[in-house]
Amino acid sequence: MRLIGEGGMGAVYLGEHTLIGSKVAIKILHEHLATHPQLVQRFYAEAKAVNLIGHANIVNIFDMNLIPPRLYYLIMEYLEGHPLNHLLTKPMECMVALGILEQVCDALDAAHAHGVVHRDLKPENIFITKAGRNECFVKVLDFGIAKLFSENASHKTLAGMIVGTPEYMAPEQTSGLPIDAKADIYSLGVVAYAMSTAKLPFGGGLADLLVAHRERLPTPPDRLNSKLPKAWSDAILKALSKNPKERYETAVAFAEALAWALTPAAQVVPSASAAASALSPLRESGPPPPALPGVEIWDETRQAWSPQKLIEWNSSGCFIEDTHLPPLFSGVRMRIASQLVLTAEVVQHVRPEQSQQWHLPAGYGLQFSPQEPSGKHMLASIQQGKYPTPPAESLHNAQADKEISALQKRFEQTDPYAQLELHKDAEFSHIRARVREIQKTLQTLEAQNISNQQRQTLQKLKGNLEKTLATIGSPLARAALDAQQKNFRGIARSIAAGLSALEVEQLRKNYLSSNPKAEGLAHFKMLMADALSKKGDLSKAIQFMEEALFQDPLNLALHQRYWTLRKDFQEPHT
């Protein structure tokens, strides 16, 4: 119909299906690039990556083909809206920015879970459209230079060109180092910086930019925009750490840090100068406490105790020197002299780039949680240099028992939706958010002083949660379950999240083999719906179409008719 836009790889046109009138975007590879097999491969890599991921916040690609001799094209969903860079003329409100960034993080988390790194994340590739009541629904575009982690791809293309956009490239992208999900987190940190300040962290020519990303520290965002909470600024700076190991482990962890930065609790975190004065003199009045031998922190990843270097401590808290910083306000377990196990909460971070400015080593501050009377007695004894022998097993934690029992009751149910306390048509982002919420609860419980029996129960609950996520956390697995439950709305969610027509047909074939009468019953209900629709009775037509989908929930043609009826009913023609 018309040209929509043009980029380095190709041009995008608005297209219209000649029979049903639906609009699509047609992306065509530039003719002068079509003679290079490597560039054609990269062009088609976008469709392969998007199909592999399958996420509501990533643009859908329906087809890819060639018109001889060299007209390569993709058929994509047509989006009405504008790219994020159109909104960056002034700093965005944090709540608005958070709503956008959380969706981008969800999309990246799904990509990274499938081993795909975007490598060119920037505002132009974050498209803002409308979905229902959500005025800022995000679609991440242009996975054309995405790579699988396992490929261990170089930072350069086969043609010798640097991959990515210099203003948003992570240091490792120009240093010849392996690139993984942490590069996308850095790029998103640059995007968040621009959203918060309407400026980029670094400017200048290509050479200046590449050097700045590798060597210079950005000006903290809250210095450029005084309305920003310091915790928000700190979260962005962590994403922009030069060393990938010092960035967030996942895109979702970045989103959670930004969300926490807007909570009331984050507003009371001390400033840099206050933190330096508050963390440095941890000792209470009187003589310094004795040194604590054998201080260890429980490592959840390795399921083992990890030795730590303790800088200061008193009866209420301590400061651990470490470059690996657990999330703020997360719970940790601390063991002293292989005897006393204390639970604590992370209340402060000192990042490596802050340590010189604050005159403190990099690390984190812990505040001890209230202990059982026996624990208090043991801590007091240790302060006097005495080490009483604790019981062989931690005391049974009655408070933890209530939470564990509640989780057990939820997972005794066979329906995974009931286990997560979600509706059967829940969006995938809501499913992942609920799983993360339960994971946090389990981690908090594990960090407490609980019995071995309680700890074993938590391990079983972890396994149950993993099974639940495997059952409804991906479009293919979820659609298979929803077909058994005749949950056509859940299947619609899977289709919207990228379930391919081929996968739907294979699932339907299996379903109809077990339900041989379903197709005939659904056809009869559909005919009734069509007759009612022609008479203008859309309400009853929708009811019969739902009954048809209940019988044949994987029938794509029924889905298309049903949602068209719903749209006509909500937006009647004048």
Q: Which residue has the higher pLDDT, 143 or 477?
A: 477
Reported as a single tens digit per residue, the pLDDT across 414-430 is 999 999 999 999 998 88
Contact 75, 26 (CB under 8 A): yes
Within 8 A by CB and 6+ apart from 327, the residues are 253, 256, 257, 346
Q: What are the CB-based long-range contacts (under 8 Å, 24+) for 484-490?
A: 485/415, 485/424, 486/550, 486/551, 486/553, 487/424, 487/425, 487/553, 488/546, 488/549, 488/550, 488/553, 488/559, 488/562, 489/424, 489/425, 490/424, 490/425, 490/426
How far apart, in whole angstroms, are the C-alpha atoms of residue 248 and residue 327?
9
Rounded to the nearest 5 degrees, what angle is found at the Cα of 43, between the Cα atoms of 42 and 48? 80
- Indicate the CATH number for domain 81-267: 1.10.510.10
Grouping H, G, I as helix, E, B as strand and the rest as coil, residue 12 is strand
Contact 559, 489 (CB under 8 A): no
Q: Which residue has the higher pLDDT, 371 or 474?
A: 474
Provide φ and ψ at 513, rounded to 5°: -65, -30
Q: How many helices (H) and strands (E) does the chain have?
A: 21, 17
Given a cut of 50, whether residue 177 has pLDDT beyond it is yes
Name the residues annotated as catalytic: 120
- DSSP secondary-structure letter at 281? T
Reported as a single tens digit per residue, the pLDDT across 7-37 is 777 899 999 988 878 899 999 988 888 888 8
Instruction: Indicate the range of 65-69, 129-133, 150-154, 203-207 predicted with least confidence.
Output: 150-154
CB atoms under 10 Å from CB of 277, counted, come to 13
Confirm or reject CATH 3.30.470.20 for domain 272-283+291-383, answering yes or no. no
Contact 229, 267 (CB under 8 A): yes
- In 224-265, DSSP assigns E strands to none
pTM: 0.52
Instruction: Tell me the average pLDDT across 435-455.
Output: 82
Q: Would you state the CATH architecture of domain 2-77?
A: 2-Layer Sandwich (3.30)
- Indicate the CATH number for domain 488-570: 1.25.40
* Mean of pLDDT over the chain: 82
Please give the structure tokens belonging to residue 121: 């994340």
Residue 372's pLDDT band (boundaries 50, 70, 90)?
Answer: very low
Instruction: Indicate the range of 156-170, 244-258, 341-355, 509-523 predicted with least confidence.
Output: 156-170
- DSSP secondary-structure letter at 58? B
Reported as a single tens digit per residue, the pLDDT across 182-239 is 999 999 999 999 999 999 999 888 888 888 898 899 999 999 999 999 999 999 999 9
Contact 144, 41 (CB under 8 A): no
